[in-house]
Chains A and B, each alone.
Chain A
Amino acid sequence: MKKAIHSPACGEVKDSLYSWGFVIAVTTVAIPLIFSQFPPYYIKLASSIMIMILYGVSFNLLYGYTGYLSFGQAAYFGSGVYVSALILRSTSSLPLALLGGSIAPALLAIVFGYFCVKRSKLYFAMLTLAFAQLIYTLIFKWRSLTGGDDGIVVPRIPYLHNPLTFYFFILALVLVSVFIHWVIVHSPFGHMLKSICQNQERTEFIGVPVEKQVLVAFIIAGFFGGLAGAIYAPFIGVISPKLVHWTMSLTPVIMVVFGGAKHFWGPAIGAIVYIVLKDIITLYTDNWLLVFGLMLLIIVLISPRGVMGVLENIGTYIKKNITKANLMKERIN
């Protein structure tokens, strides 16, 4: 007898609303309090972690929840970066830059996604990568607009000059966006994504146009990936095609695999670990990707569900032992 076929990567995604209290407390109180004691470098590090969290969470809507591995998210992050930078340069309006920097990638995702979702999951990964390379080449070659590999200097935003103020701005943007993802994955729409992940054929046969459903998830991921890029441009100040390179597509994959795709906060944990480790390792060696790769390998070997998986295992272990201890006590009494 055959077992129902489903990808092992498609377990139920776990989370709880209580986690929000913790997240908000840490990001709005603890981090600013602690980091204001240190040079501004550290609060900037925290800001870039926040941006990467949004990038990772949007990617995981596709990967962890729907089961579609995109190897080309840099197309949306990167086009967000460039559209935002160009808008800032010509209008110096941040709201306009954020709007353009997320809508343009979403439009791109409509066009590219239309072709990608028609393929099997393997071809989906390859095709997303191919499209991302297309965008990379375009940005690299179109010197008159993008400055080629010289990049663009993005004008600073006067009212966000203070790093702590900028941190709070980014934080607000990221918290709202991540909360939208939270609602989405708990909505009927999100339920369909989980169904597609676990059994695509069955989902089709309960009356869901699966391709369209995946396409919409793809567009949402493109939109928020773009938004992450759109805020990254003024934050980092100087942009280059490096931000559209395929290694930038690899970033969310690594973060999510490291943190755990099967937990809502997995990408966030992954982003923190990724940025902090990158920061530390680059002090010692240029081959930080190699070191990180090794660490990733170790984590995945210990727990296929990433850091969150390890934490969960520890959690259930403790719970088991507590109930055991309680049982023992009862017996003794």
Chain B
Amino acid sequence: MVLPRRSCFQRKMTILLETTGLTKDFGKFRALDNVSFSIEKGVLTSLIGPNGAGKTTFYNCITGKFPPTSGKIFFKEENITGLPAHTIQQKGLSRSFQIVSIFPELSVLDNIKAALIAKAKKNWRMLSFLSRDRVIHEEAMNMVELIGMIDRANWLCHTLSHGDRRRVDIGIALAARPDLILLDEPTAGMNPKETEEVIQLINYLRGKTETTFFITEHDMEVVFSISERIIVLHQGKVLADGTPSEIQENPSVQEVYLGGVL
């Protein structure tokens, strides 16, 4: 009687993110329909689903781009529903966007520095030189090294290849050392070689940081190779939720989504 209760308690402690009945309407269109699930600390979770399933909408609701129509979001057991994006970010929930979103006219290093300034809440310091801030500089260099861009630290980002810009993008999100990072299709628009590199990067970063990764991805091979847990979204609803092998065997998933692929 005692044992299951205890394990239940322990399990609850490790839950990072939890949504209950999350619903989002765009006019009459219901993009998210009563989505309830939770993300556990340290478990690389993937969110998959066909185009228009509502994956990006889900991310947008969680990270405060817009509030959900109804339902609640808890992050580290705190209700964050409806909070503005910058507040949610400060609590340790970072994200990247489906389309690479960086500061194109700043150097790689300065892109990372921007994230670190924000994290350290130094964004109101106006009477000291940024270049004199050793702490920010060291941390930024570390991060640049982690994303494998140390040899191009001073390159302006708009001169980088798409794959490298995605590295910077992930670096910006990870620089704040968040508890949870949401990557929206990190391999979108990439050739197989670049895709492979990004997957390697994600695996590498998982080992090097405390951050939990939550990813959406179209490439099924990628999904099944790196995920520890997969959530399938279909027409705004959770269709299935489980380990990669459970998902592979799930008949309804095969029917609506995986089709003949597997």
Report the minimal beta-carbon distance from A191 to chain B, rounded to whole angstroms: 5
CB contacts (< 8 Å) of B162 on chain A: these are 1
B103 adjacent to chain A (CB < 8 Å): yes
- Supposing A2-B99, A199-B101 touch, asked if A190 and B119 sit within 8 A by C-beta, the answer is no
- Supposing A190-B130, A210-B86 touch, asked if A198 and B118 sit within 8 A by C-beta, the answer is no
A10 adjacent to chain B (CB < 8 Å): yes
A202 adjacent to chain B (CB < 8 Å): yes
Report the minimal beta-carbon distance from A158 to chain B, rounded to whole angstroms: 34
State whether A184 touches B106 (Cβ < 8 A).
no
State whether A187 touches B89 (Cβ < 8 A).
no
Of A186, A195, A204, A205, most buried by chain B (CB within 10 Å of CB) is A205
- Supposing A192-B118, A206-B118, A209-B86 touch, asked if A198 and B123 sit within 8 A by C-beta, the answer is no
CB contacts (< 8 Å) of A2 on chain B: these are 99
Q: Pick the residue among A4, A11, A187, A207 that contacts B129 (CB under 8 A).
A: A187
CB contacts (< 8 Å) of B114 on chain A: these are 191-192, 195, 203, 206
A183 adjacent to chain B (CB < 8 Å): yes
Q: Is the interface of A mostly helix, strand, loop or mixed?
A: helix
State whether A183 touches B129 (Cβ < 8 A).
yes
State whether B176 touches A199 (Cβ < 8 A).
no
B127 adjacent to chain A (CB < 8 Å): yes
State whether A198 touches B106 (Cβ < 8 A).
yes
> Which residue on B lies nearest to A184, using beta carbons?
B126
State whether B115 touches A206 (Cβ < 8 A).
yes
A138 adjacent to chain B (CB < 8 Å): no
Report the minimal beta-carbon distance from B75 to chain A, rounded to whole angstroms: 14
B104 adjacent to chain A (CB < 8 Å): yes
Bound CA span A209–B189, Å: 31
State whether A205 touches B89 (Cβ < 8 A).
yes
State whether B99 touches A202 (Cβ < 8 A).
no
State whether A188 touches B172 (Cβ < 8 A).
no
B131 adjacent to chain A (CB < 8 Å): yes
State whether A202 touches B102 (Cβ < 8 A).
yes
B206 adjacent to chain A (CB < 8 Å): no
Chain B interface size band reads: 35 or more
State whether A188 touches B103 (Cβ < 8 A).
no
Chain A interface size band reads: 20 to 34
Of B63, B99, B117, B122, most buried by chain A (CB within 10 Å of CB) is B117
B237 adjacent to chain A (CB < 8 Å): no
- Supposing A190-B126, A191-B130, A203-B114 touch, asked if A198 and B85 sit within 8 A by C-beta, the answer is no
A-facing mask of B119-152, CB < 8 A → 1, else 0?
A: 1001111111111010010000000000000000
Bound CA span A251–B123, Å: 30
Q: Pick the residue among B90, B106, B124, B131 that contacts A216 (CB under 8 A).
A: B124
State whether B63 touches A188 (Cβ < 8 A).
no
Bound CA span A10–B172, Å: 19
A-facing mask of B155-194, CB < 8 A → 1, else 0?
A: 0100000100100000010001000000000000100000
State whether A198 touches B103 (Cβ < 8 A).
yes
B-facing mask of A173-199, CB < 8 A → 1, else 0?
A: 000000010011011111110110011
> Which residue on A lies nearest to B117, using beta carbons?
A188
A213 adjacent to chain B (CB < 8 Å): yes
State whether A4 touches B86 (Cβ < 8 A).
no
> Which residue on A lies nearest to B178, using beta carbons?
A207
CB contacts (< 8 Å) of B189 on chain A: these are 1
A208 adjacent to chain B (CB < 8 Å): yes
Q: Pick the residue among A184, A206, A210 that contacts B176 (CB under 8 A).
A: A206
CB contacts (< 8 Å) of B99 on chain A: these are 2, 4
- Supposing A195-B114, A207-B90 touch, asked if A4 and B104 sit within 8 A by C-beta, the answer is yes
Bound CA span A110–B195, Å: 48
Report the minimal beta-carbon distance from A7 to chain B, rounded to whole angstroms: 10
B18 adjacent to chain A (CB < 8 Å): no
State whether A194 touches B106 (Cβ < 8 A).
yes
Report the minimal beta-carbon distance from B15 to chain A, rounded to whole angstroms: 23
Report the minimal beta-carbon distance from B127 to chain A, rounded to whole angstroms: 6
Q: Pick the residue among B84, B113, B122 that contacts A209 (CB under 8 A).
A: B84
- Supposing A183-B126, A186-B131 touch, asked if A207 and B102 sit within 8 A by C-beta, the answer is no
B105 adjacent to chain A (CB < 8 Å): yes
CB contacts (< 8 Å) of B217 on chain A: these are none
State whether B126 touches A195 (Cβ < 8 A).
no
Where the two chains meet, the residues of A that have a C-beta atom closer than 8 Å to any C-beta of B are 1-2, 4, 6, 10-12, 180, 183-184, 186-192, 194-195, 198-199, 201-210, 213, 216
Q: Which 8 A-B pairs have the closest CB atoms?
A: A189-B126, A207-B89, A207-B118, A1-B189, A206-B118, A188-B122, A198-B103, A188-B117
Listed A/B pairs (30) with beta-carbon separation below 8 Å: A2-B99, A6-B105, A12-B105, A180-B127, A183-B126, A183-B128, A186-B129, A188-B117, A188-B122, A188-B125, A188-B130, A188-B136, A189-B123, A189-B126, A191-B110, A192-B117, A194-B105, A198-B104, A198-B105, A202-B101, A204-B86, A205-B63, A205-B89, A205-B101, A206-B86, A207-B89, A207-B90, A207-B119, A208-B118, A213-B123
